Chains A and B, each alone.
Chain A
C-alpha cells in the first residue's frame, strides 16, 4: 500500500555529532512532507516541513532534504544534543489538501549520549 516508512528503527549518536534520519515514501504523487519529534509521554511536535517543489529546507539546527527521484526524505540535525533524544516521524500528506489525513511512518528512535 501507500505509506511512509523509515530505514532504521534506532540511531545512537554522541553529543555534538550530526544526526541523519532517513525516510522512504512510496507515493510519488505526494506533495507535502513533515518531520515530527515525539518525546516520551507527549504528542508529536512539528519540526520542519517541505513541499515537493523544493529539494532542501533549513531550520534552526535542522535541515530536511527531499529526493523525489528515489522518493527519499531525510532529516539532518546539527550538533545533536541530549534534548534531541526522542522518536522522529516523517509524515506525508498524499493529497496536499487541508483537512486530509497525514500518513506517518513508524519512527526512528534517536538516542544521544553525552
Chain B
C-alpha cells in the first residue's frame, strides 16, 4: 500500500478483555516498530522487528503485551487482560531497510479501556 495501515482505528475494551491491534507496513519494508503514545505525550518505544525476527522488546511494559510478525510483513500487537493504564494510541512504523530513524508511521489505533 501507499502507507502504513493500522486497524482498527479505534478500539474500546472492557477491563480484563484481550485485544489485538494490526499493522500493515509498507510493502517490502524490513523494519517495523511499535510505539505507545499516551495522551499529551510523545511516543514511547515498545518493540522492534527486522523481518520476522523480534530483535528488541525491551519497551513492552509487562508480560501482558505480546507482538508478532510471523511472515515478516503484517504485525499484530496483542494486549491481554487490558487495564485502564493501557489506554493510549498505539503507533506502528516501518522503514525499507535498517536505517536510523526517519521511518513512516501509521495513524495509530486509539485504545480506550473502560
Contact = CB atoms under 8 A, between A and B. Distances in A.
* A, B: real partners: yes
Interface of A: 4, 32, 34, 41-46, 49, 89, 91, 93, 96-107
Contacts, number: 65
B93 to A, nearest CB: 7
Interface of B: 4, 31, 33, 40-45, 48, 50, 55-56, 59, 91, 93, 97-108
Consensus secondary structure, chain B interface: loop
Consensus secondary structure, chain A interface: loop
B42 A32 contact: no
Contacts of A97: 100
10 contacts: A34-B102, A44-B91, A46-B102, A49-B101, A98-B97, A99-B50, A101-B56, A104-B44, A105-B42, A107-B42
A-B CB proximity, top 6 nearest: A104-B42, A43-B105, A101-B45, A98-B98, A34-B101, A44-B105
A79 to B, nearest CB: 25
